[in-house]
Amino acid sequence: MEPFELSITEASTLIAKKELSPVELVDSVLQRVWKLDDNIAAYSLLLAEPALERARLAEEQIMTGAALPPLHGIPIALKDLIDVAGLPTSASSRVQVGHVAESDAVTVRHLQEAGAIFTGKTHTHEFAFGLTTPQTANPWHTEHTPGGSSGGSAAAVSYGGALAALGTDTGGSIRVPAALCGVVGLKPTRGTVSLEGVIPLAPSLDHVGPITRTVKDAALLLEAISKAKVDNSSANALAVHEITGTKLGVPVNYFYERLEPEIEEALAQLQRALADAGAELVEVSVPLTETIMPGQWGIMLAEAAFVHRDNIRSRADHYGEDVRLLLETGSLLPAQDYLMAKQAQARLERAWTEMFQQVDALIVPTVPTVAARRGQSAFIWQDGSEEPVVEAYVRFNAAANLTGVPALSVPAGRHSSGLPFGVQFIGPAHSEAVLLKLGQLVEGITGRMPMPAPFALCN
């Protein structure tokens, strides 16, 4: 196994034993980037020399015999919405040309304190306002989207261009690309991770979270960026008894509608396997599903338009067409529409709090189908109905943003097309421990997703 293929846990163990140096690890990751990223374009800014310099310093620290922080020498990428002092934060937009961050985001400071080494900034759908990241390719097949808006982060982790990355999630923007690229993505409980120093999209829906290769790595990264211990045996293998009696909700409405049959069957098999491991499957009717999409769009459009109010008036032509149209639409929304969406959000939060008194978590698809082709605008379902790509990808994800509850996407398998897809666990506020345990069990059932052999290598 090459160093770039390691998980954080594996690499940290080898570094602590002096069997792998941070320089070897960072160099292996950079070699992978130089080999593949011209075709995949996960990175908007590569920090090769600074990363190698930090790796050399990390190696010197090891030789002193000092205690090492948990992410010592681990190469991590940052979504290009997250500020690092002295570096540009581009948000993958012409609007941000010339912008240089004056200070570090809180999450950046936490990662630095944990010993992480930053490999660079990763592409996002412009200002995180989309779910395809059009400039970036999916490492499993470069003619397909990696998802978005954290598409660059998910692609980099998937192909070995970083051991982990940070993303942001306003309506699925961590979980969707994680599912489409075959990696793990965690949207934490609202307020768990600071948003200070992160360019906002819709502040009341925004979250920062980890994208990793394994569930254990997601727990480690969450602990680092939140400065809170995740009580979930994050450093230990999951024991079967820990899941016994867990009430796992299987929705009878909404979450299994307009769903690719192969994904539906794969999730049914996972449900049976989790039941065999001791989980109690409970059918549940998800409340107020009719408010999810209107609430999501009403809040997101209005808040994004407010965030961009000055630039959309003075420099509208600097935005990509899709984002410009969304911002202009948001700027025309009446105040009463926004207030109605916020009222719907409050009702949904209360209803979901009651639902989670019946079950410990929901098991649902992350995405209804696999990665769309780049530039594809819509999916056509078995009944002949058409659904825009962005609507399809946000549909199973928005509720967790509206309610602020945590949601974890874990690789669930590969479609007959060869493209990966994910299973999502959603729980009540601050239930990350339960979700991570369930995710670890899924990893044990399905096996760790292999590193993709990128399409670019096949030519």
Give the separation between CA 287 and CA 348, rounded to whole angstroms.
8
Which one is catalytic: 12, 92, 150, 173? 173
| DSSP character at residue 348 | H
Longest dimension (CA), the chain: 66
The number of residues making up the chain comes to: 459
Active site residue 409: no
Give the separation between CA 436 and CA 37, rounded to whole angstroms.
31
DSSP of 132-151: S-TTS-BTTBTTB---SSSH
φ/ψ (deg, to 5) at 292: -65, -60
Give the separation between CA 212 and CA 217, rounded to whole angstroms.
6
Which one is catalytic: 44, 79, 153, 437? 79
Active site residue 93: no
The distance from CA 186 to its chain's CA centroid, rounded to whole angstroms, is 6
By C-alpha distance, which of 127, 129, 177, 187 is closest to 153? Answer: 177
Active site residue 173: yes
Amino acid identity of 404?
Answer: G
Which one is catalytic: 21, 149, 150, 158? 149
Token pair listed for 284? 């549940």
Give the separation between CA 433 and CA 345, rounded to whole angstroms.
25
Token pair listed for 281? 């499957």
Give the separation between CA 216 and CA 218, rounded to whole angstroms.
5
What are the catalytic residues? 79, 149, 173
